Amino acid sequence: MFVSVRLSWVLFLFTIPVVLSQNIALIIIDVQNCFLPGGSLAVTDGQEVIPIINSLRTDYKDAFRLVVLSQDWHCSDHISFASQHAGFNAYQEVSLAYDKNGVLCEPANSCQVVAYNVTQMLWPDHCVINTTSAEFDDSLVQEDSDIVIRKGFNCKVDSYSAFFDNGEFTQTGLHKILQDADISTVFVTGLALDYCVYYTSSDSKRLGYTTYLVQDASRGVANATSVAAVADMKSKGINIIQSDDVGAILESITSGVSSHGSCLTTILLVVMAIVFMQMFSCHSVQE
């Protein structure tokens, strides 16, 4: 019997699997018809990000544990639409007041105490729920395993970030999804650089993820705000890279995980060998 036990331990020692997990996610922000040429809120040269994002997906398919697509998903009377604010035009800002529960203070619901003031840029109507405007571009590579995060569906508060609404009253669920998948590093791409990409990247970094913005896989609404957004992201420790850098970065991450995994495996083997030797020694003494 003891021989069989010893044999089992020996087999176990030499069949310990080395599992190397990259823990990396690719996040694709709002590559939707409304933000592309012909859309109501088209981002200049927005279509140029699509082949770059597609290449990242195909060239490094095995490196990404998760691929997440965010989708702007607005009511037809959404609070961010200029059409809902008499006397205001698109690209003007308004201040929105909310109570402590994140409920908008408005004539129909006058707040006794204003807890939050949120600055809101007004936009043309865009990405309305269940319209072709809100659909992803047909040329964007998608897989059945992709996770879609819809945001901005609360009619009374906007949501630039794929993690939170603009008042941070609610989360979208993305943080939990990444946590459950043990994600530690994210690569962010998509539209628009100075708004949804910026806020998603900033929240990602704040939540503790190593964050890379793939700059040439993103485009902004305006040059001035895009330059300011990139500068601010750099100051926060977000890595600003180009798509040509991704391969080397992934290789560096992979090699680091591989070395760490090999070290852990070696330690485990040594520990198991010591345990085995002690068992063998005890049996010899008993004999």
Does residue 46 lie within any of the structural domains? yes
On the question of pLDDT at 284 being above 60, the answer is no
Cβ count near 235 (within 10 Å) = 8
Does residue 132 lie within any of the structural domains? yes
Does residue 129 lie within any of the structural domains? yes
User: What residues make up the domain containing 52?
Assistant: 24-75+125-252
The residue annotated as part of the active site, out of 30, 125, 158, 165, is 30
> What pLDDT, on a 0 to 100 scale, did the predictor assign at position 265?
46
- The count of domains in the chain is 1
Task: Give the CA distances from residue 7 to residues 13, 55, 269, 276, 287, in Å, rounded to whole numbers and listed in that order.
Answer: 10, 49, 15, 10, 19
Pick 262 or 70 by higher pLDDT.
Answer: 70
> What pLDDT, on a 0 to 100 scale, did the predictor assign at position 12?
42
Catalytic residue check, 176: no
The residue annotated as part of the active site, out of 72, 127, 151, 156, is 151
Per-position b or e across 80-118, b if 16+ CB within 10 A of its CB: bbbeeeeeeebeeeeebbbbeebebbeeeeebeeeebeb
> What pLDDT, on a 0 to 100 scale, did the predictor assign at position 3?
43
Pick 189 or 253 by higher pLDDT.
Answer: 189
Cβ count near 254 (within 10 Å) = 15
Between CA 254 and CA 251 the distance in angstroms is 5
Catalytic residue check, 30: yes
On the question of pLDDT at 144 being above 60, the answer is yes
Tokens found for residue 248? 């080397």
Q: Are the C-beta atoms of residues 126 and 72 closer than 8 Å to each other?
A: yes
Does residue 239 lie within any of the structural domains? yes
Does residue 154 lie within any of the structural domains? yes
Tokens found for residue 107? 């004539």
- Please count the residues of the chain: 287
Between CA 120 and CA 157 the distance in angstroms is 9
On the question of pLDDT at 264 being above 50, the answer is no
Contacts of 83 (CB under 8 A, 6+ apart): 124, 125
In degrees and rounded to multiples of 5, residue 232 shows phi and psi of -65, -40
Does residue 200 lie within any of the structural domains? yes
Between CA 164 and CA 201 the distance in angstroms is 12
Catalytic residue check, 151: yes
The residue annotated as part of the active site, out of 34, 105, 127, 196, is 196
How does pLDDT run across 223-251, given as a tens digit for each residue? 999 999 999 999 999 999 999 999 999 99
Tokens found for residue 141? 């590579």
Strand partners, 118: 96
Does residue 280 lie within any of the structural domains? no
The DSSP output letter for 176 is H
CATH code, domain carrying 239: 3.40.50.850
Ramachandran bin of 38, using left for φ above 0, alpha for ψ from -120 to 50, beta for the remaining angles: left
On the question of pLDDT at 172 being above 90, the answer is yes
Does residue 59 lie within any of the structural domains? yes
Angle 196-206/223-235 helices, nearest 10 degrees?
10
